C-alpha cells in the first residue's frame, strides 16, 4: 500500500522518480506526487489520480534538481484529494516527507504540534510526522557530536511514533541529502553508479541498479553525495549487506500484453517450471526443501500443521490442507492471518507453522508470523519476494521464484503457491507412509503441470467468447468440491476483484443449504466437474441448478460425459493427478474473470479500492 521512491545522485531526479512511481503504481493509485529539492527550495507537484495525471502536472514545473522524493498513495487517513496527496511539507517549509504506513498516535501529536504553532493543510497522519520532524529540528542545536542535525531530527521524531512507516525525508538546509527509515513497511536502498534510490520495492529501481540493501525494521539510512550510512533508532551502526536482484527490467514490464494480468496468466507454465527447478530428489521420488532448515528426523516429529495467509494465498493454503491431510495423513489447520493474530489459538510443540504470502509484506500475515514466533514456534514461509519482511523474519522457508507479480489480482503467484503446497504434501508424505512408486508417480505428475497448464491456456479464445456472453450478469456462483472448493473461492475472488461483479464461492453440495435461493436465470454458476468418485454427486448439484433455470458454465475434465443439455457452456481441462488438478482448474477461472473485466472495460491491473500488497491493518 502506497509506493515511495527517493533519489539522490547526479541525474535530474524528477524523471527517475516518475519512472519509479509508474512501476510502483500497483501499490496504490489514489493520488501521486513528487518533491524536488532545487534552488534552496522544496518544489512540490501532487494531484489526486494516477501517476499519468502527475506526469502532466510535473511538466508545468521546471524540475532540474538532482535530489527528490515521490509517492503513489492508497488512501488511509483522509480522502482522495490533492491536499492529502504526498509529499507533505512541514508548516515551516523546511521538510518534505513521503510515507507508507499508518501513524497510529497522530492525533495526540497533532494536538501537541498545533499548540506549538504548527499548522496543517491535509487530513493525513503523514503531515503530522513531517511537522514533528520540523519541531525536533527547531529544538536541535546545529550538527552536534559529528552527527547530522537532519538525521537526528528524524530519529527523535520517530522515537515518538506508534505505528508503521516506510518514509523518505528531504530537508531544505541539506541539498543532496535524504533520510529514509522503516518500521513494518518495506523499504530498500538501491546502490547505483554515483546514485542512490530508496523505494518500497525493487521494481522502482531495477532499471538503474540491481544492487540493493534491504532495510530492517528500526533502521534509518542517511544518504549523501559521499555515500550512505545505516543506523538504528537506538543509534547503533549497521554494516550494510548489498544483495543482487536476480530478475531484470523485462520481468517488470508488460511487453506486448494488454495487461500485466494477461501476461502473468500466460507466464504460468514457465513460472511453475521455475518454482520446481532443482527441487526434486535425484531418485525422482520426492521433493527437496533444504530451505525449511529442518532435518528429516525433526520433520517426523511434526504431528500437525498450521497455515496462515490472506486472500488468494489463504485459498492456496486450503488446497495444501487437503493434499497434506490426504497424502501425509497429518491434521492441518488454516486460518486467516488477520483472525489468527487476535485469537488465542492453541498450538502445541509439534505443530509446524507456515505463513504464505506472495509479497511477504502483508501486514496481517507478518503479524501472524510474529505472534507465532512470540509463542515460541518455528515459523516457515512460502513467499515470492526475495528479501521481504516475511522472508527475513521466518525461520526458514521456500521461495516461489515466479518473478515480480505486478497485476493486483494474483495469478502466477497463486498457482505457484498451489504447486509448493502439493510439493510439501509429497515431501511430508514420503517421510511417512507414501511408497517410492507412489512418490515417483506424484513427482512425474508435478513435472507435467507446466504442459497441462499450457493446454488449459489453449482454451483462451473459447473462454473469451463465453466471457462476452456472460459479462452482463450481476451475480455468479462458483461451485467445487474437495481440492476444487478453494479454487471456487479463488474464481469468485478474481471475478469480484477485477470486474466488480458479485460472486460467491461455495462447496458444490453445500449450495443447497442457502445459496440456491440466489439461483434464477439471472445468476449463472461456474461448476468444477472433475473425473472421479464425486463426478456423479456434482452432476446432481448441477441438475438442482438447472431445475431452477440457472445457467451453468462447467469446467470439465476431458473424458467426462455430462448429461446432454445440462451445461450451457463447457470448458475442457486436461485429465491429471489430484495434486495438479487445482493448478490446472485455476486457469479457466483466471481467464474467465480477465476477459469479463476486459469486456466491461474495467481497469484490470488496478481495480478500484485495492492495492497489491496490503501493508495496513
Ligand atoms: O502478498 P500476499 O500473498 O500476502 O497477498 C495476500 C492478498 O492480499 C492477495 O492474495 C489478494 O487477495 C489478491 N488481490 C488476490 O488476487
Block means of pLDDT (10 residues each) for the chain, 617 residues, are 93 96 88 96 95 95 96 88 96 97 94 97 95 94 73 96 95 96 93 95 92 95 93 95 88 90 97 96 94 90 95 98 97 96 85 96 94 92 92 94 93 98 97 96 98 98 98 96 97 97 95 88 96 92 94 96 95 97 98 98 89 76
Which residues are CB-neighbours of 4 under 8 A, at least 6 positions away? Answer: 24, 69, 70, 71, 86, 98, 99, 100, 166, 167, 168, 187, 198, 199, 200
- Ligand 1, from 200, 311, 487, 603: best to mutate by most atoms within 8 Å of Cβ? 311
Residue 203 in contact with residue 24, Cβ under 8 Å? yes
Q: What are the φ and ψ backbone dihedral angles of 31, each rounded to 5 degrees?
A: -160, 170
Query: 612 catalytic, yes or no?
Result: yes
Residues lining ligand 1, Cβ inside 6 A: 310-313, 357-359, 362, 365, 408-410, 493, 497, 613-614
Q: What is the pLDDT of residues 529-554, one digit of tens each?
A: 999 888 999 999 999 999 999 999 99
- Ligand 1, from 317, 360, 362: best to mutate by most atoms within 8 Å of Cβ? 362
Residue 39 Cα distances to 43, 62, 64, 67, 175, angstroms: 9, 11, 9, 11, 9
Comparing C-alpha atoms, which of 89, 97, 148 is closest to residue 119? Answer: 89
CA angle 476, 478, 482 (to 5 degrees): 170
Q: How many residues does the chain have?
A: 617
Dist CA 215 CA 180 (whole Å):
10
CA of 309 to the centre of ligand 1 (A): 9
Going by alpha carbons, the residue nearest to atom 11 of ligand 1 is 311
**Regarding the domain delimited by 3-246, which CATH topology (the fold level of the hierarchy) does it fall under?**
3.60.20
The pLDDT of residue 27: 83
The pLDDT of residue 553: 98
Residue identified by cell 466491461 is 600
Termini Cα distance of the chain: 11
Q: Do domains 3-246 and 255-447 have the same CATH topology?
A: no
The pLDDT of residue 146: 60
Biggest CA pair distance of the chain: 85
Q: What is the pLDDT of residues 202-239, one digit of tens each?
A: 989 999 999 999 999 999 999 997 899 999 999 999 99
CA-365 nearest atom, ligand 1: 4
CA of 270 to the centre of ligand 1 (A): 21
Residue 69 bridge partners (DSSP): 6, 35
CA of 394 to the centre of ligand 1 (A): 19
The pLDDT of residue 39: 93
Residue 100 bridge partners (DSSP): 166
Of 22, 47, 606, 612, the active-site residue reads 612
- Ligand 1, from 28, 307, 312: best to mutate by most atoms within 8 Å of Cβ? 312
Annotated domain spans of the chain: 3-246, 255-447, 458-605
The answer as to CATH 3.40.50.10490 being correct for domain 255-447 is: yes
Other Cβ atoms less than 10 A from the Cβ of 564: the count is: 6
Dist CA 68 CA 35 (whole Å):
5
Of 2, 130, 317, 576, the active-site residue reads 2
CATH no., domain 458-605: 3.40.50.10490
Residue 158 in contact with residue 126, Cβ under 8 Å? no
- Beta-strand pair 351-357/332-336: unpaired
> Is the N-terminal amide bond of 87 cis, ω within 30° of 0?
yes
Query: 447 catalytic, yes or no?
Result: no
Cell readout for 264 is 502473468
Dist CA 289 CA 280 (whole Å):
9
Amino acid at each position: 500500500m502506497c509506493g515511495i521512491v527517493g533519489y539522490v545522485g547526479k541525474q535530474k531526479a524528477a524523471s527517475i522518480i516518475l519512472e519509479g512511481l509508474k512501476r510502483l503504481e500497483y501499490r496504490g493509485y489514489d493520488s501521486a506526487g513528487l518533491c524536488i529539492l532545487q534552488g534552496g527550495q522544496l518544489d512540490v507537484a501532487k494531484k489526486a489520480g494516477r501517476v499519468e495525471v502527475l506526469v502532466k502536472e510535473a511538466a508545468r514545473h521546471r524540475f532540474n534538481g538532482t535530489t527528490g522524493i515521490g509517492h503513489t498513495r492508497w488512501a488511509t487517513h483522509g480522502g482522495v484529494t490533492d491536499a492529502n496527496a504526498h509529499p507533505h511539507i512541514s508548516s515551516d517549509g523546511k521538510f518534505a516527507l513521503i510515507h507508507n504506513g499508518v501513524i497510529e498516535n497522530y492525533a495526540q501529536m497533532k494536538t501537541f504540534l498545533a499548540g506549538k504553532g504548527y499548522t496543517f493543510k491535509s487530513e493525513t497522519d503523514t503531515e503530522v510526522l513531517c511537522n514533528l520532524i520540523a519541531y525536533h529540528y527547531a529544538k536541535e542545536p546545529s550538527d552536534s557530536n559529528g552527527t547530522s542535525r537532519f538525521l537526528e531530527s528524524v530519529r527523535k521524531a520517530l522515537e515518538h511514533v506508534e505505528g508503521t512507516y516506510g518514509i523518505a525525508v528531504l530537508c531544505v538546509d541539506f541539498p543532496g541529502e535524504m533520510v529514509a527509515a522503516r518500521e513494518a513497511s518495506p523499504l530498500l536502498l538501491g546502490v547505483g553508479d554515483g546514485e542512490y534510490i530508496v523505494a518500497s520495492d525493487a521494481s522502482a529501481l531495477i532499471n538503474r541498479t540491481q544492487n540493493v540493501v534491504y532495510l530492517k525494521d528500526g533502521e534509518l539510512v542517511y544518504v549523501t553525495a559521499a555515500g550512505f550510512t545505516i543506523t538504528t533508532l537506538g543509534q547503533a551502526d549497521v554494516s550494510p549487506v548489498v544483495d543482487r536482484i536476480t530478475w531484470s527490467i523485462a520481468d517488470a514490464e508488460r511487453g506486448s500484453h494488454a495487461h500485466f494480468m494477461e501476461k502473468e496468466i500466460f507466464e504460468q507454465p514457465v513460472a511453475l517450471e521455475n518454482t520446481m527447478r532443482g527441487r526434486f530428489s535425484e531418485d525422482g521420488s520426492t521433493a527437496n526443501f533444504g530451505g525449511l532448515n529442518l532435518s528429516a528426523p525433526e520433520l517426523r516429529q511434526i504431528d500437525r500443521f498450521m497455515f496462515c495467509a490472506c486472500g488468494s494465498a489463504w485459498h492456496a493454503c486450503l488446497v495444501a490442507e487437503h493434499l497434506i491431510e490426504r497424502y501425509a495423513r497429518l491434521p492441518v489447520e488454516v486460518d486467516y492471518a488477520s483472525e489468527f493474530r487476535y485469537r488465542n489459538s492453541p498450538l502445541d510443540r509439534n505443530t509446524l507453522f507456515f505463513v504464505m504470502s506472495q509479497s511477504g509484506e502483508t501486514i496481517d500475515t507478518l503479524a501472524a508470523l510474529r505472534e507465532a514466533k512470540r509463542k515460541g514456534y518455528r515459523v516457515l514461509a512460502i513467499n515470492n519476494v526475495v528479501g521481504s519482511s516475511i522472508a527475513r523474519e521466518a525461520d526458514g522457508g521456500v521461495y516461489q521464484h515466479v518473478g515480480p507479480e505486478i497485476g493486483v489480482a494474483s495469478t502466477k503467484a497463486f498457482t505457484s503457491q498451489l504447486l509448493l503446497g502439493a510439493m510439501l504434501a509429497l515431501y511430508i508424505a514420503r517421510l511417512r507412509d507414501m511408497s517410492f512408486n507412489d512418490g515417483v508417480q506424484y513427482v512425474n505428475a508435478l513435472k507435467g503441470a507446466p504442459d497441462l497448464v499450457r493446454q488449459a491456456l489453449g482454451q483462451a479464445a473459447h473462454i473469451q467468447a463465453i466471457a462476452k456472453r456472460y459479462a452482463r450478469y450481476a451475480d455468479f456462483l462458483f461451485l467445487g468440491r474437495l481440492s476444487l472448493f478453494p479454487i471456487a473461492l479463488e474464481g469468485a475472488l478474481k471475478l469480484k476483484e477485477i470486474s466488480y461483479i458479485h460472486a460467491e464461492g461455495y462447496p458444490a453440495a453445500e449450495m443447497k443449504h442457502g445459496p440456491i435461493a440466489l439461483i434464477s436465470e439471472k445468476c449463472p454458476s461456474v461448476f468444477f466437474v472433475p473425473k472421479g468418485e464425486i463426478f456423479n454427486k456434482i452432476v446432481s448439484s448441477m441438475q438442482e441448478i438447472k431445475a431452477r433455470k440457472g445457467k451453468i458454465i462447467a469446467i470439465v475434465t476431458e473424458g467426462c460425459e455430462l448429461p446432454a443439455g445440462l451445461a450451457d457452456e463447457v470448458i475442457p481441462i486436461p485429465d491429471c493427478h489430484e495434486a495438479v488438478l487445482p493448478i490446472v482448474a485455476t486457469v479457466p477461472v483466471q481467464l474467465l474473470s480477465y476477459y469479463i473485466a476486459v469486456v466491461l472495460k474495467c481497469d484490470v491491473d488496478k481495480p478500484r479500492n485495492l492495492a497489491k500488497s496490503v501493508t495496513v491493518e
